[in-house]
A and B are shown apart, each in its own frame.
Chain A
Amino acid sequence: MKIKPILFTIQYSVLILFLITSILGGYRSLAESHLWIAYTFIVIFTLPSLISKVLFQSTLTGVYSVLSFLYYPITYFISYAIATLLDINILTPLSLLTIFTIVIWNILLSILIKESNQKYLFWLSDKTITPVITSSIIISIIFLVLRQIDSVIALDYLQHQAVVNNMTTNNAFCVLPGSCSSLFLQNGYTTIFHTIWGAFTTFTGNNLIKSFFIADILWPILMGLITFKLALKIFKNDLISSFIVAFSTLTFVNGAYEFSLLIPQTFTFYLFLQLLSSKKLNLIGLILGSIFLILTHFVMGSFLVLILIFKILILKKLKEMYGHINKLNFVIYIFFLVTALTLLLNISGFSFESYLQQNEIEYIGGETNQPFPLSLEVAIAPLGVIIILLIVSILYYFNKKQKSTEIFFAITYICINFAIFFLGPTYANKFMIGLGIFSGIVIANYLKNIKVEPKIQLAILLLLILNISSNFYVNFQGYLKFYQRENNIVSALSTTDEGLINYLKTNNLDCYILSDPFTQIIIAGTTSYQTATGQYMSIEGRETLLEFITKPNVMNLLKLRNISDLKNNNFCFIYSSRLEESIYEKNIFWTQNVYTLPAYNDYGVNKNEDLINFMEAQRREIIYRDNNYILFNK
């Protein structure tokens, strides 16, 4: 069977289908189509691999592919320069850039198909289809059981979208997200991620909400692909590698989200896996890749770079010194010891956050990590009872005569996960990133050697997937609880927000938006308005806001005007039903911690006549009103 004609037929029939849809229904019909949005996602996130393979004659994943993601910040900068020179809206060159990207992607794909031999194409198709099918089955079940169509389950998406909104509306070129949005109190990364994210959501003109939803579906599949490659490199076995893909997709690490959300930290981890799975990573590649990782996420990038250095330089050197990996057990014992010590420190009440990050605690209004014994519960939660299997698998590794560097590394990686988690820096959960993949590798190393018939082995693997699925269900449901909105909707955005969003979009009010933190993040993510730092509104700002709506008078209005979150800007005030509920039901929990937000918004806005009369007296008229929001003029 000839594979080239089949691949060409698929490639061009998809293009023709979209072209016909566009001609018949206009581009808007495409931008609203889930299929088209999925296509643009695939184009944007696989273009760097094609550049690496076709232009640099390298592998599809690896350092060239990682560095090829620079295509997006570079082309964004070119578009910015053109827009500035010609004094036009940056969206014009960015729209052309989208077309250019799609054309380039198709050309590169055509070259790849044309230039590659049959054998390679068969191999590539096989090694792509297998993980895609595995991931798709898992994702389909997750979405059928747990998700609602076009639901948004990450305020992070709205936060990062706010940067893109401001970049495109104000023709801005921001190196740091904080320069383009008031939602970033600290700059934890450059805007490399935002140029890629924007290329998918805004430059394409795609429907925003649908884009978020499609990203949630396709991101785990993309992660599954790179996980499969890494697993295949170690085990050279499709079934075992597919098991690792399924296992890691179903390990939900709250706070790390590596298989659930596409955000800077998970994107950095994806790049890290690309570097880790590449067969030949030389020193220059490591240096360039590391720089890119750090620029994509300062903390997570640095953390992963240190792990890369350990794997590629230190472990290699140790192996050379001692002759064989079998003689390096003492290194793992050191890692175990350090992990045990950090656990003991945690039990004794020590946490890095409470002793050395007092400023953060003060700002946030509390610690971000749980004390012992809850910390232990949090650490065990991602794997649940499967942690017993992990322990058995580690025991098996130590008793095995012939040890493997990759399993050795996976065990040390898991130790690092737990050690940093128990040390308890702010957002300690994030450092458990990758726990699923590396636990899966250690467990798979054990399961591939069990003395049972292949059919029973398959049954065991499926049963274990079922076990981890139930754990995933419990953990993911816990995560979704935060997004429970009115009318049984589980999403950060509800149809009741649409009226206000559309009003703000069509009327340029030239002001900062001040409201409860949840309303602010909704507005920041869906319009180009700046807000009073959105969901990160300071405790002081929250208290002043509550004081104002409870006792609307000139003094309190003055205090409100001076809160640091507004940075001395004019503001438009949105009185939401969340705020009304706060006054009349004394639901003021959201004023005590930066990470607590009121999501429900169905209380109504009919009671606070004092506030409305006061605002009128201040010549701040009502310019928009619905059942749950009142917007006052600046």
Chain B
Amino acid sequence: MNKILISKRFITYLVIVLSILSFLFFLNYTNRNRYTITNTNQTVVVSFENGQYLALRPESDIITDPNTNTFRPFGGLNEFDFATEGFDFLTIRKNFIQTVASGDNIRIIKISPISPNTFYLRYEIITNLFYSDTSKYSIQLDYSKEAEFQIYEDHNTAIIKDERCMIEFLSNDNTNIEKLNDFPSLILSKAYSDGISFDLTVNINCSK
């Protein structure tokens, strides 16, 4: 057996295989997401390289109507589940799915990383509530500290900027984006219906 192990052919193949594997693992590392996605209680937290994070809290969701009271469909403690789908290897990235349920109301967040700096953020909210045509459903994205907020004129794009990072939110479905007064948060609103979805692309650009 040792004759094979010390042969020129074996060692050549071995070193080539090791080099390829090392290179792939290194590439996998350098190609890793520049953000981390975790779940704390019922909140999905997307952390960035500047130490700041984006919190997606179900209790912040709100249904507003000029004629009736506001209502928070996930206002209290909810049942929740956080799971991942797929695996990370090179350009393949796993998805993160949080499902929150409050009675018949269900809210699903799916985060699909598509590159080290970009991910799709998709909300699907299924509720069975009686509201009028003038009602609006809003979700809230909370940034962890005060920063510079820019909302584009079309209200489809927003940017959060601090010394190190610029995070861009692009609505893929013409959702109205606004900044919440006096708080470092973005509000995304749509006309209320039983099944609502929000679809965003989030780009992160942090300097080293």
Contacts and interface: CB of A to CB of B under 8 A. Distances in A.
Interface in A450-496: 450-452, 456, 460, 463-464, 466-468, 470-471, 473-474, 477, 484, 486-488
B104 to A, nearest CB: 30
Contacts of A460: 11, 15
Contact of B5 (A395, A473, A477, A599): A395
B6 A451 contact: yes
Contacts of B68: none
A385 B22 contact: yes
Contacts of B19: 463, 466-467
Contacts of B51: 484, 486, 599-600
A470 B14 contact: no
Contacts of A600: 51
B26 interface: yes
A396 interface: yes
B65 to A, nearest CB: 30
Contacts of B14: 388-389, 392
Contacts of A388: 14, 17-18, 21
Interface residues on A, range: 35 or more
A452 B5 CA distance: 12
Given A399-B1, A484-B51, A385 B11 contact: no
Given A386-B18, A585-B144, A399 B2 contact: yes
Contact of B18 (A385, A400, A486, A487): A385
Nearest to A599: B51
Interface in B9-53: 11, 14-15, 17-19, 21-23, 25-26, 29, 49, 51
A104 B1 CA distance: 57
A614 interface: no
* A contact face: mostly helix, strand, loop, or mixed: helix
B25 A470 contact: yes
B94 interface: no
B25 A471 contact: yes
Contacts, number: 77
Contacts of A392: 5, 14
Nearest to A467: B22
Interface in B85-139: none
**Residue with the highest number of chain A CB atoms closer than 10 Å, among B49, B51, B208:** B51
A208 to B, nearest CB: 26
Contacts of B25: 384-385, 470-471, 474
A212 B26 CA distance: 30
Given A389-B14, A470-B23, 7 more contacts: A384-B22, A392-B14, A395-B5, A452-B8, A474-B25, A474-B29, A484-B51
Interface of A: 384-386, 388-389, 392, 395-396, 399-400, 446, 449-452, 456, 460, 463-464, 466-468, 470-471, 473-474, 477, 484, 486-488, 581, 585, 587, 599-600, 603
21 contacts: A385-B18, A388-B18, A389-B14, A389-B18, A392-B5, A395-B5, A396-B5, A396-B6, A450-B6, A450-B8, A452-B11, A456-B8, A463-B19, A468-B22, A470-B22, A471-B22, A474-B25, A487-B163, A581-B145, A585-B144, A603-B145
Interface of B: 1-2, 5-8, 11, 14-15, 17-19, 21-23, 25-26, 29, 49, 51, 144-145, 163-164, 207-208
Q: Sort A-B residue pairs by CB-CB distance and give the 7 closest, nearest first.
A: A470-B26, A467-B22, A385-B21, A600-B51, A399-B2, A474-B29, A450-B6
